[in-house]
Amino acid sequence: MRVAVDAMGGDKAPHEIVKGAVLAAQQFQDSEILLVGDEKVIQQELESCQAIPKNITTHHASQVVSMDDPATYSIRQKTNSSITRSVELVAKGEATAVVSAGHTGAAVAAATLHLRTLKGVRRPGIAAPFPTRSGNCLIIDVGANIACKPIHLFQYGVMSTIFSKYISRVQYPRVGLLNIGEEDAKGNDLAKETFALFSNSQLTFVGNVEGREIFDGKADIVVCEGFVGNVMLKFAEGLATGLLSTIKAEAMKGFWSKLGLFLCKPAFAPLKAKMDFTEYGGAPLLGVNGVCIICHGRSDSKAIYNAIKVALQLSKNKVNDHIVAELEKANVPAASVM
Amino acid sequence: MRVAVDAMGGDKAPHEIVKGAVLAAQQFQDSEILLVGDEKVIQQELESCQAIPKNITTHHASQVVSMDDPATYSIRQKTNSSITRSVELVAKGEATAVVSAGHTGAAVAAATLHLRTLKGVRRPGIAAPFPTRSGNCLIIDVGANIACKPIHLFQYGVMSTIFSKYISRVQYPRVGLLNIGEEDAKGNDLAKETFALFSNSQLTFVGNVEGREIFDGKADIVVCEGFVGNVMLKFAEGLATGLLSTIKAEAMKGFWSKLGLFLCKPAFAPLKAKMDFTEYGGAPLLGVNGVCIICHGRSDSKAIYNAIKVALQLSKNKVNDHIVAELEKANVPAASVM
C-alpha cells in the first residue's frame, strides 16, 4: 500500500511532515511512503534523519499552494503543486491514499477534481474528530461543502457511520443532526428534510442534537452543513485555547494560585490529551474515489504519523467499498435526490 | 417608563422572576414594573417579599407557554399567555418594554406579530452578548431568523452598532462577518453578498471573522445567520461548562490536585464572572417596534434585574429611534433589498 504525503503543505512543512513520514515508514514496513514536493528540499530533510527507511521515496512537484491562494486558483494555475501531484498519484493508481496538511480548500478541490466521487456519492465531506466528555465524536462536514442539500447530509451520515464502524470500531454509531432544538420539527428546511431522510433510514439516528449536547456526547456522529461545521470547529478551538490560557494567566498572578496551578496540572492532562488534534491524525475527506486525509495546518510529525496510520487503515479496511455498498442499499426517496 | 415582565416564563419562574422584578422596582423608582401572569400565583410570590414596592403591579394572564409548545401553537392557541399579554401591553402603549425568560421562539413570534418591525427593518434579530478574552462581543442573530438574506445581516450590523454605541458605550463598534475564512471572497453566497454590503457602508467593518477569532475579540459585533449563531452559542455553553467540570472532576481525584484546585480558585473567578450570563441581563430582540429583552431560560433574580435595567436603558436612550434614523441613512443598493 502506498501513501502519497504532501511534503510542502502545513505551517511546519517540510521538516515535521518529512519527520512524520519517516516515523510512519519505520512503523509500517509493509507500506510505502511517497514524499511529494520539491525534491531538493525533501532530500535535505531526509538526510538530516538518522536513517532513511527504504520504503520512503520522493516524487517531485515544483510548486506549493500558499495559504493565501484561492482554491480555484490553486487548481488552475498551480497544476504542478505538491497537493495536486499527490492527488494525481492516487488518481493514476500509483498510490492508494493522500495525506496533506496544506491548504484545505485546495486539497478538497484537487481531490474532487482528480479522484471524482465514489459511485453514488453526491458530495464529499470532511469528518473531523471532536473531543467530548466521554470520548470523541465525528463532525461532518467541516467545510468541504457549503451548499448542502438534504441528500448530501444524509450521505454524510451513511459514510461516517461506515468510518466509525471500521476505523473507530463503534458497532452502532449514533448519528445526530445538528439543529437549533431537540424537537423533530425544528430548524430550517435543510434540517427538516434531512431529519425525514434519517428517520426513514437504517442508521442509528438519535434525532436532533443541539450545540450544547455535542460535548456531552449525545451522538458519535454529528451531521451538519459545511459552513456551520467549519465555524463551530474553529470557534471551539479558539474558545478552548482561550479559556485555558485565561485561567493560566490569572493563576500566574499570585503566589498561592501559581502553586495551586502547579499542583492542579495533572487534572488538566486528560483534557489536554483529548484536545490534542495530533492524536487523531487528521480528518478524512469521505466520498472521494480514493483515500484522502486532511490534516490540521499546525500538524507536527506525530499528527502526520497518525494521519498516515488512519490512511492505511481506511485502505486496508476497504472503507470506500463499504460506503458504495451501503449507499446502494440506502433507501432514499427519489424526490430527495434532486 | 413601564416594563412588562413575563412572570411565568423561565425555569425558575415565577419565584426568581418576581424577586428580580421587585429588586428592579426598588432600584428604579421612577419606573413601573408590570408583572404579567397568573395573578394569584404572582400575588403569593409578592407577599413572601419583605415589602411590595408601590411601583410594581400585576396584570392577569391565564395561560403559560410551555417549553414543549411549538412557537406557532403558542401564538394561535395560547392567546392569553403571559408572554403574549406582556407583548400586547407594549403594542397598546401601556408598557414601553417587555422582558421574558420563557420560550424564545414564542417570545420572538409574539413580538414580531404584535409589535411589528421598526420602519425600514426587514427582520428582527437577537443580539446575544458573548464573553471574549478582553471583554465581550455581541453575536447577532442567535436564532430569531433562520432564513437570512444579505439585507437582514446588513441591518443586524446597523442595529447592533446602535445598541453598542448607546448601551455598551463603544463609540465605534467593530463589526465582523462570521465566515469560514478571512479573505474577502470566502464563504457561501449569503456571506459574499453581505460582505459587499458591509464594505460599502459607513459601519466600522473589520471584514470576515473566523470562529477562532471570536474569543480573541477581533470584533465587538459578530454578524451571522440565526441557525449558525444559535448552534454556536449553545455549543460554547456546553463546551465551556464541560471543560471546567472536566478539570474539576479530574482535580478532585487526588489530594494534591484537590488542594491545588482550592488554591487556584481565584484564577477561575474572572472567567466565571465573564461567563455569567446573569450579568448581561438577557439579549435584546433588535428591530421590533418596542423594546423586547429575551432572557436565558435559567435566569435568576439577578438576571431579571439586569434585563429590566437594559430594557430601561434601551427605552431611555431611544435606541429604536436611532435605528430607524440610521437605516434611513444607510446606503443599500436596491437590488440587495430583495
Rg (CA), chain A: 21
The per-residue pLDDT for A269 is 82
Is B57 among the domain residues?
yes
Would you call B260 and A262 a contact, using CB atoms and an 8 Å cutoff?
yes
Task: For an interface test with B, give the residue of A228, A232, A243 to mutate (most B CBs within 10 A).
Answer: A243
Q: Does B255 touch chain A (CB under 8 A)?
A: no
Chain B, window 195-234: residues with a beta carbon less than 8 angstroms from a chain A beta carbon? 210-216, 224, 226-228, 230-234
Would you call B267 and A251 a contact, using CB atoms and an 8 Å cutoff?
yes
Q: Residues A68, A45: one domain?
A: yes
The per-residue pLDDT for B85 is 95
Is B4 among the domain residues?
yes
* For range B55-84, the mean pLDDT: 87
The per-residue pLDDT for A335 is 56
The per-residue pLDDT for A30 is 95
The per-residue pLDDT for A70 is 79
Q: Give residue-wise pLDDT tens across range A288-329.
A: 999 999 999 889 999 999 999 999 999 999 999 999 999 998
Q: Residues A99, A146: one domain?
A: no
Q: How confident is residue B271, by pLDDT bands cut at 50, 70 and 90? A: confident
Work out how many domains chain A is built from and give that number.
Answer: 2
Q: Give residue-wise pLDDT tens across range B193-221.
A: 999 999 999 999 999 999 989 999 999 99
Contacts of A246 in chain B (CB under 8 A): 133, 270-271
The domain in which residue A201 lies consists of 127-248
Given a contact cutoff of 8 angstroms between Cβ atoms, the answer to whether A20 and A304 are in contact is yes
Contacts of A191 in chain B (CB under 8 A): 227
Q: Residues A115, A133: one domain?
A: no
Minimal Cβ distance to B231: which of A178, A215, A271:
A178
Is A270 among the domain residues?
no
Residue with the larger pLDDT of the pair A335 and B94: B94
Contacts of B149 in chain A (CB under 8 A): none
The per-residue pLDDT for B50 is 82
Task: For an interface test with A, give the residue of B65, B134, B186, B212 to mutate (most A CBs within 10 A).
Answer: B212
Contacts of A247 in chain B (CB under 8 A): 264, 267-268, 271
* Cα distances (Å, whole numbers) of residue A11 to A14, A21, A102, B293, B332: 9, 16, 8, 45, 40
Residue with the larger pLDDT of the pair B67 and A314: A314
Q: How confident is residue B126, by pLDDT bands cut at 50, 70 and 90? A: very high
Q: Which residue of A has its CA nearest to B225?
A: A228
The per-residue pLDDT for A271 is 76
Q: Residues A115, A138: one domain?
A: no
How close, in Å, is residue B330 to chain A by CA atoms? 28
The per-residue pLDDT for A315 is 96
Beta strands B283-286; B125-131: pairing state:
antiparallel
Beta strands A291-294; A283-286: pairing state:
antiparallel
Contacts of B146 in chain A (CB under 8 A): 180, 187-188
Is B327 among the domain residues?
yes
Is A228 among the domain residues?
yes
Is A79 among the domain residues?
yes
Q: Which of A264-268, B67-71, B294-298 has the highest mean pLDDT?
A: B294-298
Q: Residues A33, A102: one domain?
A: yes
Burial class (CB in 10 A: 0-12, 13-18, 19+), B171: exposed
Q: Residues A41, A147: one domain?
A: no
Give the residue from A247, A163, A236 showing the smallest Cα distance to A203.
A163
Q: Give residue-wise pLDDT tens across range B139-198.
A: 999 999 998 999 999 999 999 999 999 999 999 999 999 999 877 778 889 999 999 999
Q: What are phi and psi of B280, to 5 degrees?
A: -80, -25
Is B201 among the domain residues?
no
The per-residue pLDDT for A134 is 83
How close, in Å, is residue A253 to chain B by CA atoms? 8
Cell readout for A17 is: 511532515
Task: For an interface test with B, give the residue of A215, A230, A261, A277 to mutate (most B CBs within 10 A).
Answer: A215
Q: Give the CATH number of the domain where residue B105 resides.
A: 3.40.718.10
Give percent of chain B with pLDDT exceeding 70: 98
The per-residue pLDDT for B35 is 97
Is A267 among the domain residues?
no
Sites in chain A below the pLDDT cut of 50: none
Q: Which residue of B has its CA nearest to A265?
A: B257
Burial class (CB in 10 A: 0-12, 13-18, 19+), A113: middle
Beta strands B125-131; B32-37: pairing state:
unpaired
Cell readout for B253 is: 481525584
Q: How confident is the prediction for chain A on average, in pLDDT?
A: 91
